[in-house]
């Protein structure tokens, strides 16, 4: 039903998007959207927890102008959970202070927008809800998430929303018997950014020297058509800050961890 009504067609007129919490009546559509948008199968318990707000916080997007009684039907969603920083995989990236043991993080579990409503800024608005929420929690130091390495639109989106790409996790996802890498993105809040490590300082110095060298060389050689050398923090991080994760997600066995893909 959803596929015919929303997935394939562009929203006909300019939509009027509203954001609201996800509630029990959204259960069916939420399950359907996850099945349509993600290569991972989520267990019923996950959806039950989302709609009943059991350890999961969520926001939904609806198009108030949508006809045929669908003006309150979800066309986008984001789900998150709060985790303790010290129990997370990014504890080393969070600034240390005396109250460190209480630090929390907001982890984005799933984010999606139906195809017909993409590129209207809905996912960006949902992410802003999440970062606002994270900022409102005094103990929270960052929002983070995983994204599968081939998901270009999502990677562009997180970069645009000022998330830092901090790690490449090799073989993080196991989908249909195949390994896929993931990127780990972090958005710091409430002063959570860790001070520069010696490695980061070294990377910065190397980048600075490289940039300086290119600019001098460019002036000497007058290669007018050469593109300026670009330093991508994300790319550097992939190569220099790689870690391996054992948390593969076996789809066939049902997902017990819920990662953004």
Considering only 15, 60, 112, 192, the residue that binds ligand COA (CB under 6 A) is: 112
Considering only 5, 88, 149, 151, the residue that binds ligand COA (CB under 6 A) is: 151
Query: Positive or negative CA dihedral for 28, 9, 126, 243?
Result: positive
Bridge-partner residues for 165, per DSSP?
Answer: 185
Q: Which stretch binds ligand COA (CB under 6 A): 152-160, 163-171, 224-232, 236-244?
A: 152-160
Work out whether 175 is an interface residue with ligand COA (CB under 6 A): no
- At 258, list the tokens: 């819920």
DSSP 8-state assignment for residue 255: B
Bridge-partner residues for 105, per DSSP?
Answer: 83, 142
Which residues, 6 or more positions from 218, have their beta carbon under 8 angstroms from its beta carbon? 226, 228
Looking at the Cβ atoms of 111 and 140, the one nearer to ligand COA is 111
- Determine how many CB atoms are found less than 10 A away from the CB of residue 34: 20
Considering only 123, 130, 165, 182, the residue that binds ligand COA (CB under 6 A) is: 123
Work out whether 160 is an interface residue with ligand COA (CB under 6 A): yes
Work out whether 121 is an interface residue with ligand COA (CB under 6 A): yes
Looking at the Cβ atoms of 103 and 146, the one nearer to ligand COA is 146
d(CA 149, CA 175): 13
Work out whether 113 is an interface residue with ligand COA (CB under 6 A): yes
Work out whether 124 is an interface residue with ligand COA (CB under 6 A): yes
Work out whether 62 is an interface residue with ligand COA (CB under 6 A): no
Determine how β-strand 104-113 pairs with β-strand 140-148: parallel
Which residues, 6 or more positions from 233, have their beta carbon under 8 angstroms from its beta carbon? 164, 165
Work out whether 244 is an interface residue with ligand COA (CB under 6 A): no
Polymer length in residues for the chain: 261
Q: Which stretch binds ligand COA (CB under 6 A): 16-24, 109-117, 220-228, 241-249?
A: 109-117
String marking each residue 63-102 x if it binds ligand COA according to CB under 6 A: ----------------------------------------
Bridge-partner residues for 110, per DSSP?
Answer: 79
How far apart are the two ends of the chain, measured CA to CA in Å? 24
Looking at the Cβ atoms of 149 and 190, the one nearer to ligand COA is 149
Looking at the Cβ atoms of 132 and 160, the one nearer to ligand COA is 160
* Residue 72 C-beta: closest distance to ligand COA, Å: 19
Tell which residue, 74, 141, 78, has the closest CA to residue 106: 141
String marking each residue 16-55 x if it binds ligand COA according to CB under 6 A: ---------------------x------------------
CB 59 within 8 A of CB 27: no
CB 113 within 8 A of CB 75: yes
Work out whether 212 is an interface residue with ligand COA (CB under 6 A): no
Instruction: Summarize as ranges the residues that interact with ligand COA (CB under 6 A).
Output: 37, 111-113, 118-124, 147, 151-154, 156-157, 160, 260-261
């Amino acid at each position: 039903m959803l596929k015919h009504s929303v997935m394939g067609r562009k929203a006909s007129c300019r939509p009027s998007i509203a954001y609201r919490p996800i509630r029990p009546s959204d259960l069916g559509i939420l399950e359907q959207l996850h099945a349509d948008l993600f290569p991972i199968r989520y267990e019923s318990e996950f959806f039950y927890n989302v709609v009943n707000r059991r350890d999961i916080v969520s926001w939904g997007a609806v198009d108030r102008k949508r006809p045929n009684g669908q003006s309150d039907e979800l066309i986008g969603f984001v789900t998150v959970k709060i985790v303790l920083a010290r129990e997370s995989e990014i504890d080393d990236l969070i600034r240390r202070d005396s109250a460190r043991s209480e630090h929390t993080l907001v982890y984005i579990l799933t984010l999606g927008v139906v195809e017909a409503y993409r590129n209207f800024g809905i996912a960006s608005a949902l992410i802003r809800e999440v970062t606002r929420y994270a900022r409102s929690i005094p103990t929270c130091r960052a929002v983070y998430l995983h994204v599968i390495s081939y998901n270009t639109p999502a990677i562009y989106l997180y970069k645009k929303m000022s998330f830092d790409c901090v790690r490449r996790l090799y073989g993080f996802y196991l989908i249909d018997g195949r390994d896929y890498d993931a990127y780990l993105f972090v958005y710091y809040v409430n002063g959570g950014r860790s001070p520069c490590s010696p490695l980061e300082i070294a990377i910065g110095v190397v980048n600075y020297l490289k940039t300086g060298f290119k600019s001098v060389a460019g002036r000497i050689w007058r290669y007018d058509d050469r593109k300026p050398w670009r330093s991508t923090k994300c790319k550097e991080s992939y190569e220099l800050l790689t870690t391996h994760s054992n948390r593969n997600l076996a789809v066939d066995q049902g997902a017990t961890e819920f990662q953004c893909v």
